[in-house]
Amino acid sequence: MGLPQRTDVVIIGGGVIGASIAYHLAERGKTDVTLVERKSLTSGSTWHAAGLVGQLRSSSSLTQLMRKSVETYQALEAKTGYATGWRGVGGLRVASSPGRLAELRRVYTQGKSFGFDIHLVSPAEAGQLFPLLNTDGVYGATWTPFSNLRRAPTAGRSRSRNAMTRWLITTRFGRRTA
């Protein structure tokens, strides 16, 4: 597929970020977007991304941004008809030293101030939440029930497909041509 002679927006990179940009532009009515990927969609660094989507960040605005990302991922499969690999699995942050436990207590307090669903748990509770955890030397943990996991390549393809079909924009996915 050749590249167009003219386009309003060019996005370089067809990973989860590039696909996300195309998706959000389509959501806002942008209709002339070209996404350029040198190989195939999500084949670069997105392909081997861990896919963890923790929502609690160092500021309220970043936490809100991550919450919005989660809302998007939760709705994406229904919008596109393509699997995203999205799973709400929860997140456990473990303290193996008194210093780390103090840090997790700060994170807990900060999370609560942002209205985030976060819990301080004992080593025994952490072991119940994740039975493979060896709790020897564990001082405590935080549990966030709504941390999530997504398959980055699948989510990127789903977003790209959504940008192309649901909003019928002329997003072009192409390889460099001679």
pLDDT tens profile 74-94:
888 788 777 777 777 888 999
SS3 state of residue 32: coil
Output the pTM of the full model.
Answer: 0.62
* Banded pLDDT at 115 (limits 50, 70, 90): confident
CA torsion sign for 60, 145, 118, 92 is negative
**17, HSE (Cβ side, Cα atoms, 13 Å):** 7
pLDDT for 68: 85
The number of helices, as runs of H, and strands, as runs of E, in the chain is 5, 9
Q: pLDDT: is 166 or 48 the higher one? A: 48
Within 10 A of 116 (CB to CB), how many other CB atoms are there? 19
Alpha helices per DSSP H over 30-172: 60-80, 98-113, 123-129, 152-161
CA 40 to chain centre: 20
Per residue in 123-146, pLDDT (tens digit) is 999 999 999 999 999 999 999 887
Q: Residue 71 and residue 73: Cα distance in Å, rounded?
A: 6
Per residue in 140-167, pLDDT (tens digit) is 999 988 766 555 545 555 555 554 433 3
Residue of 156, 158, 160 whose CA lies nearest to 22: 160
pLDDT for 176: 37
pLDDT for 109: 95
Is 177's pLDDT higher than 50? no
